[in-house]
Amino acid sequence: MSSTFLAVGNCGLYLEQGDITRSETDAVVNAANSGLRGGGGVDGAIHRAGGPEIMAECRQIIRQIGFLPPGQAVRTGGGRLPAQHVIHTVGPVWQGGHASEAEQLASCYRTSLDIARTWQCRSVAFPSISTGVYGYPLAQAAPVALRAVTADLRRQQAPDKVIFFLFDDRSYSAYAQALEQLAAETDT
């Protein structure tokens, strides 16, 4: 287990390798689909570990709003997870990079952090949104994700702690490299 850290004002951004369902942050973010139907990847893991309460709330939300567009986010309880809240967001499906994918991906992180602040979460865990089934290249997604989060933390100064849970070595390395680059730019 290795970790990396960047201070953003009074907030801290951390990279960790591991399973987000074990995160003890106040909220965890789910890389969901527009129907909040559950699926594989991190979505499947969150619903398996959190139990059926989370899906019941997702169904209720979809009955109210129809579908959740890419870049948007909604909140449910955490069920049996250690986290009290799950923030479900829908990343863009990679289509080559000219279909506003970067804007939509950045919006996932911003809207999720907005919801976290609304619920007074002091700590939030993110997965690497869109880089699994949705096919967003890791080397391009990592800087978009980290820039969106650091810019938002700089403006809002909350939540205190944001952790990226990177599941595999490849994801962890891509984010560690992007964070190093971002830190170097911030220093200059």
40 binds ligand APR (CB under 6 A): yes
31 binds ligand APR (CB under 6 A): yes
**Cα–Cα distance measured from residue 86 to residue 81, given in angstroms and rounded to the nearest whole number:** 9
CB of 166 to ligand APR, least distance (A): 7
Which residue number, 72 or 158, has a Cβ lying nearer to ligand APR? 72
Produce one character per residue of 154-175: b if its CB has 16 or more CB atoms within 10 Å, e if not: eeeebbebbbbbbbeeebbebb
160 tagged catalytic: no
151 binds ligand APR (CB under 6 A): no
**How far is Cα of residue 140 from the mean position of the Cα atoms in its chain?**
15
Q: How many binding residues for ligand APR (CB under 6 A)? A: 26
Which residue number, 107 or 158, has a Cβ lying nearer to ligand APR? 107
70 binds ligand APR (CB under 6 A): no
- Show which residues are catalytic: 43
Per CB under 6 A, residues contacting ligand APR are 19-21, 31-33, 39-45, 91, 127-134, 165, 167-168, 171
